[in-house]
Amino acid sequence: MRLRPLHSVCWPADHRAQPVRSKVRHGMTLVEVMIYACLFSMILAGLSLLLSTQAQIDSKMQRLDALNAIRQSSNKLSLWLEFGTHLLYPPVASDTDHWFDKLLFADSNHEKRLLYIDPQRRLKMRSESGSLLTLADHVIEFGIKRLDESLVVFRIKVQEPKGKKFFIISNSIQLRNAEPQFPREIP
């Protein structure tokens, strides 16, 4: 819309001497104010949307991180166990519903390794030679069950860092290097 200059508008004579410009310059038209209001509301809405989206993204990312971490820890544990030579603990399950919370096994080089949860709820693996590896954080539960001389089932339950949701991963592993033991119990 093209506006006409204000001085060409017919005003009463006693008003012509007044400095009209200075008064008008400080004002805004209603349309402009509305446009500003609209713009600001849009910006605010966008910002709040962005912020809330960011929070959701962060939450989802943390969840993804937790999921990824639990998957990684399961992979690492599987890798160590697959090449293992012997299981020292837990004993072969007589009660299939009972889960143990620690695992002691000998790796491919006959070095003993212990899996446990520390008081900070981290799943750790300590070797006989002293090396320490953290496999997962925020662990609610680590359960292990031994089905026979060389077959174990484990499950890891992890809580997302700033949320209430948790994830469980479970896997069964056969120790590929375990030598068959002479069956003591003859059926």
Partner 1 sequence: MTTVSALIGDGRKPARRGFSILLVVTMLTALGILLLAFLRKGSQQASWTMKHVHERVALEAAFAGITAAEDRLLGGRWYACEGPQNGVGQFSLLVDNEMPSSVFVVCQDTYSRVFIPNGDYPTSRGMVSISTPHGYFHTLHSVNVFSRGTCKDVTKMVFARFVVSPEPLAHGGSMEGIRFLTDGKRDAYPLDELVAATWEGTANGALKTFVCLPSQFDEHGRGNTEYSRWKFQVLVSPGDLVAKGQPLYRAETSWSSCVKTAQRPGKVLKVIRECGEGYSDEPVLLIRDSNAFESSGHTLKKMVRLTPIPKEMAGNDNPADESDCRSVVRKYISSLEANYLSRSNVVFEHEESLPKGPLADDEAKNIFTQATPPATALEFLRKRFPTFVPPGLSPSQTIDYAVHASVILDKTPPPVGDPSPDELLLHNRFFGLWPSDKARNAMRFSQPDAIRKMLDCIADKTDFTSLSAYIRTATTFQKGTYVWECDYRGPAEDRHEIIGDSFDSDPASAHPPDAEWVAAGGMNYLVLSKSPGTWYDNAYDLEFGEKRIRMRDVALFLAKIASDGGELPPDSGPERVLISDAKAPLPAGSPIQGKGREN
Rule CB under 8 A: say whether 163 interacts with partner 1. Answer: no
Residue 29 to residues 26, 33, 34, Cα–Cα distance (Å): 10, 6, 9
Per CB under 8 A, which region of 10-18, 27-35, 157-165 contacts partner 1? Answer: 27-35
Residue 138 gets the label, from left (phi > 0), alpha (psi -120 to 50) or beta, of: left
* Residue 182 lies near partner 1 (rule: CB under 8 A): yes
Burial of 117-141, coded b for 16+ CB within 10 Å and e otherwise, reads: beeeeebbbeeeeeeeeebbbbbeb
Q: CB of 13: closest distance to partner 1 in angstroms? A: 20
- Rounded-to-integer distance, Cα 167 and Cα 22, Å: 68
From candidates 79, 140, 147, 168, binder to partner 1 by CB under 8 A: 79
Does position 43 interact with partner 1 (CB under 8 A)? The reply is: yes
DSSP 8-state secondary structure symbol assigned to residue 183: P
Closest CA to 70 of 120, 119, 123: 123
Inter-CA distances, 184 with 9, 53, 176, 181, Å:
113, 62, 21, 8
> From the CB of 114, what's the least distance to partner 1, in Å?
5
The answer to whether the CB of 123 falls within 8 A of the CB of 142 is yes
104 touches partner 1 (CB under 8 A) = yes
- Residue of the chain from 38, 83, 131, 170 that contacts partner 1 (CB under 8 A): 83
Q: Any contact of residue 15 with partner 1 (CB under 8 A)?
A: no
Least separation, in Å, of the C-beta of 128 and partner 1?
Answer: 5
Our finding on whether 187 is near partner 1 (CB under 8 A) is yes
94 is a contact residue toward partner 1 (CB under 8 A):
no
- What does the binding site for partner 1 look like in residue numbers (CB under 8 A)? 3, 5-7, 20-21, 24-29, 32, 35, 39, 43, 46, 50, 53-54, 57, 61, 64-65, 68, 71-72, 75, 79, 83, 85-86, 88-89, 91, 101-102, 104, 106, 108-112, 114, 116-119, 121, 124, 126, 128, 130, 132, 176-177, 179-183, 186-187
